[in-house]
Amino acid sequence: MSLDVRKYGYGWAVFEGGKPVTPELSQKHLAENRRDRIAIERQRRPRNCLRCEAEFVSTGPGHRMCNHCRAVAGGVDPQMVP
């Protein structure tokens, strides 16, 4: 199911499967921000850390280590940490 931003009432809303999933928003960029946040939220799921195997909430495919291990791996550019 894809999320799109469309005109809705006097403003904008995020639609999924032809139905609005947000209230009417006054500006298109607000609806686009909502859409991006919904998409990120949906990628969140519990995973086991690659390093210590503790369960943590991953924000997506690029996030595979718990916060503790990411901090230990610090000093490295955070974008480079799996």
Instruction: Name the residues that contact Zn ion, by CB under 5 A.
Output: 49, 51-52, 54, 66, 69
Q: How far is CA 47 from CA 11, 12, 50, 52, 62, in A?
A: 38, 35, 9, 11, 12
- Closer Cβ to Zn ion, 24 or 55, answer by number: 55
Closest distance between Zn ion and the C-beta of residue 27, in Å?
Answer: 40
Closest distance between Zn ion and the C-beta of residue 63, in Å?
Answer: 12
- Closer Cβ to Zn ion, 32 or 64, answer by number: 64
8 Cβ contact list (under 8 Å, min separation 6): 15, 20, 24
